[in-house]
Structure 1
Amino acid sequence: MTGPLEGARVLDLTQGVAGPYATKLFSDYGAEVTKIERPGRGDASRRLGPFPRDEPHIETSGMFLHLNTGKRSVTLDLATASGRDLLLRLAAEADIIVESFRPSTLERLGIGPHELAEANPAAALVRISSFGQDGPYRDFEADDMLLYAAGGVMQVTGDPEREPIKLGLYAPLFFAGCVIAGMMMGALRTSLRDGQGERVEISIHEVLTASMDRGGPNIVAYQYSGALMIERIKNVVYSGLPSGVYPCADGYVQVATQPAWFPRMCRAMGREDLIDNEHYASNVFNPDFLPEMEAIFYPWVLSHTKQEVMEIAQAEGWPVCAINTVEDAYRDPAFRARDFFRTIDHPVAGTFEYPGLPIRFKRTPGEMGVAPLLGEHTYEVLTERLGHTPQEVAILGQRGVI
Structure 2
Amino acid sequence: MSGGPLDGIRVLEVAMYGFVPSAGAVLADWGADVVKVEHAVNGDPQRGLRQTGAFKVEGDPNPNIEHANRGKRSIGLDMARDEGREVLYELTRRSDVFLTSFLPSARRKFAIDVADIRAVNPRIVYARGSGLGPRGREADKGGYDMTAFWARAGTAASLTPAGVEGMIPPPGPAYGDTISGTNLAGGIAAALLKRERTGEAPVVDVSLLGSGVWALGHGIALSLHLDKPMVAPPLGAHGSPTNPLSGLYRTSDDRYLAFVMMQPGKFWADVCRHVDRPELAEDPRFATGADIAAHTEEAVKILREVIATRTLAEWSERFATLAGPWAPVQDSLQVGSDAQVRANEYLVRAGELELAANPVQFDVTAPQPGPAPEFAAQTEEILLELGLDWERILALKTAGAVS
Q: Which TM-score tier does this pair reach, normalised by the shorter chain?
A: 0.7 to 0.9
1:36-115 maps to which residues of 2 (within 5 A)?
A: 36-49=37-50, 54-57=56-59, 60-115=61-116
What does 1:366-385 correspond to in 2, within 5 Å? 366-383=367-384, 385=385
> Contact between 1:344 and 1:354, CA under 8 Å: does it hold in 2?
yes
Residues 232 and 357 from structure 1, CA distance in 2 versus in 1: closer, same or farther, beyond 3 angstroms?
closer
2:264: which partner in 1?
A: 259
Query: Out of 244, 269, 278, which is 2:284 matched to?
Result: 278
How far apart are the structure 2 equivalents of 1:225 and 1:357? 36
Query: Does the 8 Å contact 1:156/1:164 carry over to 2?
Result: no
Could you tell me how far apart the structure 2 residues matched to 1:337 and 1:25 are? 21
SS in 2 for 1:27: helix
Q: Does 1:9 align with 2:10?
A: yes
Secondary structure at the aligned position of 2:177 is classed as: helix
Preserved contact between residue 24 and residue 69 of structure 1 (Cα < 8 Å): yes
Cα distance, 1:172 vs structure 2: 2.0
Equivalent of 1:320, from 320, 326, 330? 326
1:259 and 1:182 map into 2 onto residues whose CA distance is: 37
Report how many aligned residue pairs link the two structures.
388
In structure 1, the gaps of 5 or more residues are: 346-350
Q: Find the counterpart in structure 2 of residue 238 from structure 1.
A: 241
Name the structure 2 match of 1:348. Answer: none
Write the distance in 2 (CA, Å) between the matches of 1:178 and 1:378: 27
Query: Judging changes above 3 Å, is the alpha-carbon distance between structure 1 residues 196 and 242 closer, same or farther for their aligned structure 2 residues?
Result: closer
Q: Is 184-193 or 118-127 further displaced after alignment? A: 184-193
Aligned counterpart for 1:180 among listed residues 184, 203, 206? 184
Q: Does the 8 Å CA contact 2:127/2:204 hold for their aligned counterparts?
A: yes
Indicate the residue corresponding to 2:125 in structure 1: 124
2:391 is the counterpart of 1:391: yes
- Indicate the residue corresponding to 2:314 in structure 1: 308
Structure 2 CA distance for aligned equivalents of residues 205 and 298 of structure 1: 39
Q: CA deviation at 1:201?
A: 3.1
Report the counterpart of residue 30 of structure 1 in structure 2.
31
Q: Structure 1 residues 60 and 87, CA, compared in 2 at 3 Å: closer, same or farther?
A: same
CA 1:264/1:134 → structure 2, altered by over 3 Å: closer, same or farther? same
> Following the alignment from structure 1 to structure 2, what is the Cα–Cα distance between the partners of residues 273 and 216?
39
Partners of 1:393 and 1:262 lie apart in 2 by 72
Say whether residues 1:155 and 2:160 are aligned partners: no
Structure 1 CA distance, aligned partners of 2:264 and 2:194?
A: 50
TM-aligned CA deviation for residue 87 of structure 1 = 0.2
2:347 to 341, 356, 362: 341
CA distance in 1, matches of 2:186, 2:57: 36
- For the 8 Å contact 1:42–1:374, the answer to whether it is kept is yes
Give the direction of change, closer, same or farther, for the CA distance of 1:47–1:382 in structure 2 (3 Å limit).
Answer: same
Do the aligned residues in 1 keep the contact of 2:70 with 2:350 (CA within 8 Å)? no
Confirm or deny: 8 A CA contact 2:104 2:113 kept in the other structure: no
Distance 1:256 1:106, change over 3 A: closer
Partner of 1:360, secondary structure, is: coil
Query: Structure 1, residues 13-56: CA drift from partner, whole Å, max 9, x if none?
Result: 122222111111110111111110112322222122469x9455
Counterpart of 1:284 in 2: which secondary structure?
A: helix
Q: Is the 8 A contact 1:47 1:61 kept in 2?
A: no
Q: Give CA-to-partner distance per residue, 1:327-361, whole Å, 9 cap, x none.
A: 2111112223334432233xxxxx22222342221
- C-alpha distance in structure 1 between counterparts of 2:33 and 2:293, whole Å: 57
